[in-house]
A and B are shown apart, each in its own frame.
Chain A
Amino acid sequence: MLLGPALFVSAALFTLGVFGVLLRRNAIVIFMCVELMLNAVNLTFVALAQRLGVAGQLFVFFVMAVAAAEAAVGLAIILAIYRHRGTVNLQNINLLKG
């Protein structure tokens, strides 16, 4: 596989995730965009590992485990906010303002 295109694709995916987080207002969609960012990084690691050795591939497994733990906690938090407010739209979630 060519290293350059793989890095370009992962950079594009990462940018897409960043813009998704910044522009969307639904908590679930924002969370999905964060996951997209993490998986873009995974792609970078796998692509680099072809040239630089196995450490990059090891890193991917750690990232996947961490992302799973984050998803468990994150979805529970989103559920908690839905119970309180009846919505997961961040525009309607504004008790804390300063």
Chain B
Amino acid sequence: MNVDLSTLDLSRPGDLLIALAPELVLTTTALLVLIVVAWRHRTPQDLRLAGWVTLAGLGAAGLAAWFLWWQAAHAPGIAAMIAVDDFRFVADWLFLGTAGLTVLVSFEYLEREALLVPEYFALLLFATLGMMLMAGAQDLMVLFLGLELMSVAVYVLAGINRRSAAAAEAALKYFLLGAFASGFLLYGIALVYGATATTNLTLIGVQVATLGLQHNTMLLIGLGLLLVGFGFKVAAVPFHMWAPDVYDGSPTPVTGYMATAVKAAAFAALFRVLGEAFDAVPAWHAVVWWLAVATMVVGNLIALAQRTLKRMLAYSSIAHAGYLLVAVAVGTAVGSAAFLFYLVAYTLMTLAAFALLAAKGTDGERDVSIDDLAGLAQRRPWLAFALAVCMLSLLGIPGTAGFIGKWYILVAATATGQGLLAAVLVLASVISAGYYLPVIMAMYMQPEPSEQAHAGMRLGRLGAAVVAASVAGLLFFGVRPNRLLDIARTSGASVRAAPAVSSDAPPAPREPTGR
């Protein structure tokens, strides 16, 4: 391929198609899956067929994203609708990887629960596509469309089990609160557009800096409404009340997907919006600061009171949104590297924990309490080990990726003088030991209540592979984080660099190949 990808001109259709290659591949696959399942949607074989086509599409999209990243694709020149930078490609990998692992876990789950709905996979693809558009959006219009594409697909996924009253209720709550949040986000976009006369993130940044809009009332109200909308999407306290109910009622693989990829996408979009458009506005730092503190403290305290594993993990994911908000609040190059690293670590540990939970329970896993895990280590030592690693990583014990991620967030916070925020983070992590460690104690220190206590726990080959890969990743990144951190650092910096586009000077030359 002799096209120079480092100087894409997005006003030319050919270059735009190249820049959008991962999204286009995924769209094609999703439509293909829809056509296939229109004819074949009755037997478990049809389900598997749709699933493998989905996996192939995810892999191809990942390959396209990798190719663009490897060629250091870049689009200098005027601001466009879609960003072409490392941040987008790395976020794409995260979403595609999460979706792939979710597909693998879903195979066995859907068959066990007799949910013969191959449309599940098409919805998963569309949701992933929406996330990729969110992470790559350079314009608030694309951001909004990506967010809605993701949300509408996930509303359906939450209620995909039509026989379950709890799933229907979860879908209803998710839909009503999600649409409510979209309204806030949209009004925020409208007011920002009113203040700056543009919806392009780069141009908003330029307008704010040149026109001195830092204290413009309309812009600040718009920014506040944007933060409320994003606060709902990432389940930050005080906008978190939907999350535990929705996570509780949804099918467990979908819960895992919502707690990781959906949250990661909202965070990626939030990060880009704040970094590119509102870098010059100091007001949001204080707001995000308070959101982070409230989310960490409240999420961890309520998680202490939970008896069932699924709700405990739901509140734990709220608490982790707080840790990620710390990295956003810090808002420097160091913060962005820590942010991306933690996002990867959090995704791996949460996905594996939900996959293990899906193996343990039946009927939505709403009944699995922490005491039900008693004696698991004697009966199923490997499963107990995997769950223990997930819990320790969520807690942030050295040797796991969760520790490294938290460590970098702490370093970033203290380096920018946010000592108080770092202290709250440490305290919140100490509180979290109060609900992560009982899981391990139940598995390793309590006797089995009966011979048959764990007889129903089944994890098929694919599910086991997902869990093994996630746990291996957690331990590997816990010991050797350097490579991942380098990628996180360069891609985080690519978001920061964008506003310089306004000048006419050519961008700094970059190595076209050879990473």
Interface string of A50-66 (1 = CB under 8 A from B): 00110110110011001
Cα separation A83 to B167 with both chains bound (whole Å): 13
Contact A62 B152 (CB under 8 A): no
Contact B166 A95 (CB under 8 A): yes
Nearest-CB distance from A62 to chain B (Å)?
A: 6
The verdict on A59 contacting B141 (CB below 8 Å), with A77-B168, A77-B171 known, is yes
Q: Which residues of A contact B306 (CB under 8 A)?
A: 98
Contact of A98 among B166, B198, B245 (CB under 8 A): B245
Q: Which residues of A contact B336 (CB under 8 A)?
A: none
- Give the number of residue pairs across the A-B interface with Cβ within 8 Å: 122
Nearest-CB distance from B155 to chain A (Å)?
A: 5
Nearest-CB distance from A94 to chain B (Å)?
A: 8
Cα separation A56 to B192 with both chains bound (whole Å): 11
Contact A21 B180 (CB under 8 A): yes
The verdict on A98 contacting B244 (CB below 8 Å), with A37-B187, A73-B152 known, is yes
Answer yes or no: B111 CB below 8 A from chain A CBs. Answer: no
The verdict on A27 contacting B152 (CB below 8 Å), with A41-B183, A48-B194 known, is no
Nearest-CB distance from A41 to chain B (Å)?
A: 5
Q: Which residues of B contact A2 (CB under 8 A)?
A: none
Answer yes or no: A23 CB below 8 A from chain B CBs. Answer: no
Q: Which residues of A contact B279 (CB under 8 A)?
A: none
Interface string of A66-84 (1 = CB under 8 A from B): 1001100110011011011
Contact A38 B186 (CB under 8 A): yes
Q: Which residues of B contact A77 (CB under 8 A)?
A: 155-156, 159, 168, 171-172, 175
The size of the chain B interface, using a CB distance under 8 A, is 40
**Chain A interface secondary structure, helix, strand, loop or mixed?**
helix
Contact A63 B186 (CB under 8 A): yes
Contact A52 B193 (CB under 8 A): yes
Contact B190 A41 (CB under 8 A): yes
Contact of B165 among A27, A34, A56, A85 (CB under 8 A): A85
Answer yes or no: B78 CB below 8 A from chain A CBs. Answer: no
Contact of A95 among B155, B176, B249 (CB under 8 A): B249
List the A residue with the shortest CB-CB distance to B221.
Answer: A11
Q: Which residues of A contact B245 (CB under 8 A)?
A: 96-98
Answer yes or no: B442 CB below 8 A from chain A CBs. Answer: no
Cα separation A52 to B190 with both chains bound (whole Å): 12
Nearest-CB distance from A52 to chain B (Å)?
A: 4
Q: Which residues of A contact B148 (CB under 8 A)?
A: 66, 69-70
Contact A44 B194 (CB under 8 A): yes
Contact A93 B197 (CB under 8 A): no
Given A41-B183, A78-B172, A98-B306, 6 more A-B residue pairs with CB atoms under 8 Å apart are A41-B187, A73-B155, A77-B155, A80-B162, A95-B166, A98-B244
A and B contact pairs by CB, cutoff 8 A, 17 listed: A31-B179, A34-B179, A37-B183, A38-B182, A38-B183, A41-B190, A44-B190, A52-B193, A56-B193, A69-B148, A70-B179, A73-B152, A80-B159, A83-B168, A85-B165, A96-B244, A96-B245
| Residue positions of A touching B, CB distance < 8 A | 7, 14, 17-18, 21, 27, 30-31, 34, 37-38, 40-41, 44-45, 48, 52-53, 55-56, 58-59, 62-63, 66, 69-70, 73-74, 77-78, 80-81, 83-85, 93, 95-98
5 shortest interchain CB distances as A-B pairs: A37-B183, A96-B245, A84-B165, A44-B190, A52-B197
